[in-house]
């Protein structure tokens, strides 16, 4: 590890050791190492699909758009993916008693699968775990819905009432979930350290969360491959892949806490 990186890892570990209420904010970049493509990069999802086909309004109005949606959701990268070192490092923060919550833009539930308690994870954009009927509100496990897709159903309807089934994720043009957004703002404003992992902080209102943290005097760590608008305000900024650097940081934290066997 280059000396300069080592110093930043050490500084990040110090901030974590000194913190009591950490809010971790994650975006697509934390899951790319798990094989889930992000949206905006050169090989991202929007290089293969037209984002205009994936708005809430199109989903409601166009059977063709619904077909495309379900085709994209039927692809295996969402469901075969495993948590990576960065997810496990975040779960470790919870075990260490440092974590207030994880606020995530991701719908993959890899934080929970890495060991974070579900009540510690705030999903700003919903999750892929369920599909919901837009007519009667009934929820179905996506695992079940995927079986129907595998059997040749192109656009699944609600078996109860025949209404439209929609994945329980927030589409473009759809309102942000009110409780989650308010809760994320509240938690961000009362943390003492915010760690951004794998987000370029360009999607609003999600990207406001680290700003709320800064405004209330929290420290800020940013780990993202590319620069972000908040780099200048961060106490530590690492332009690296999240998995390796987060496990190094947690390793240092445990050393400092005397927890290494
Ligand atoms: Zn229904």
Residue 261 has pLDDT above 80, yes or no: no
Residue 187 has pLDDT above 80, yes or no: yes
Ligand 1 centroid to 54 CA: how many Å? 22
Per-residue burial over 85-121, b = 16 or more CB atoms within 10 Å of its CB, e = otherwise: bbbbbbbbbbebebbbbbbbbbbbbbbbebebeeebb
Q: CA 150 to CA 89: how far, in whole Å?
A: 34
Residue 232 CB contacts under 8 Å (≥ 6 apart), including other chains: none
SS3 content of the chain, % helix, strand, coil (to 5): 45, 20, 35
pLDDT for the residue numbered 77: 67
109-165 residue pLDDT tens: 999 999 999 999 999 999 988 999 999 999 999 989 999 998 999 999 999 999 999
Q: 188 versus 175: which is more confidently predicted?
A: 188
Ligand 1 centroid to 19 CA: how many Å? 46
Residues of the chain with CATH 3.40.50.1220: 1-36+84-125+176-261
In this prediction the pTM is: 0.92
Residues of the chain with CATH 3.30.1600.10: 39-80+127-169
pLDDT for the residue numbered 253: 97
27-71 residue pLDDT tens: 999 999 998 877 766 777 777 777 777 889 999 999 998 998 888
Question: What superfamily in CATH does domain 1-36+84-125+176-261 come from?
Answer: TPP-binding domain (3.40.50.1220)
- DSSP code of residue 40: S
pLDDT for the residue numbered 82: 94
Q: 205 versus 85: which is more confidently predicted?
A: 85
**Which one of 3.30.365.10, 3.40.50.720, 3.40.50.1000, 3.30.1600.10 gives the CATH number of domain 39-80+127-169?**
3.30.1600.10
223-260 residue pLDDT tens: 999 999 999 999 999 999 999 999 999 999 999 999 97
Ligand 1 centroid to 155 CA: how many Å? 14
Please identify every residue annotated as catalytic: 125
Residue 177 Cα distances to 8, 75, 181, 194, angstroms: 35, 25, 6, 22
Q: CA 261 to CA 255: how far, in whole Å?
A: 9
Residue 78 CB contacts under 8 Å (≥ 6 apart), including other chains: 36, 107, 108, 128
In which element (H, E) is residue 12 found? Answer: helix 3-18
Residue 194 has pLDDT above 70, yes or no: yes
Ligand 1 centroid to 99 CA: how many Å? 38
Q: CA 251 to CA 164: how far, in whole Å?
A: 47
pLDDT for the residue numbered 3: 85
In which element (H, E) is residue 168 found? Answer: strand 165-169
pLDDT for the residue numbered 52: 78
Average pLDDT over residues 193-217: 94
Average pLDDT over residues 72-82: 76
């Amino acid at each position: 590890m280059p000396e300069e990186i080592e110093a930043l890892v050490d500084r990040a570990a110090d901030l974590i050791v000194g913190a009591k209420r950490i809010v971790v904010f994650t975006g697509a970049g934390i899951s790319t190492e798990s094989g889930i493509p992000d949206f905006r990069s050169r090989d991202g999802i929007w290089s293969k699909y037209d984002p205009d086909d994936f708005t809430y309004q199109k989903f409601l109005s166009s059977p063709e758009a619904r077909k495309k949606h379900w085709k994209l959701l039927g692809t295996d990268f969402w469901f075969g993916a495993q948590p990576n070192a960065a997810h496990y490092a975040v779960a470790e923060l919870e075990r260490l008693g440092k974590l207030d919550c994880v606020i995530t833009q991701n719908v993959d539930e890899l934080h929970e699968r890495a060991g974070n308690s579900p009540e510690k994870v705030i999903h700003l954009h919903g999750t892929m775990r369920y599909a919901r009927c837009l007519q009667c509100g009934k929820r179905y496990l996506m695992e079940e819905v995927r079986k129907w897709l595998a059997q040749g159903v192109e656009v699944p309807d609600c078996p109860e009432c025949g209404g439209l089934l929609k994945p329980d994720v927030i589409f473009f043009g759809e309102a942000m979930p009110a409780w989650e957004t308010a809760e994320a703002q509240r938690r961000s404003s009362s943390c003492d350290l915010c760690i951004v992992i794998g987000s370029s902080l360009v999607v609003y209102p999600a990207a406001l969360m680290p700003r709320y943290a800064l405004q209330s005097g929290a420290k800020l760590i940013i780990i993202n491959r590319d620069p972000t608008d908040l780099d200048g305000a961060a106490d530590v900024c690492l332009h690296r892949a999240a998995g390796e650097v987060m496990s190094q940081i947690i390793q240092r934290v445990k050393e400092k806490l005397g927890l290494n066997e």
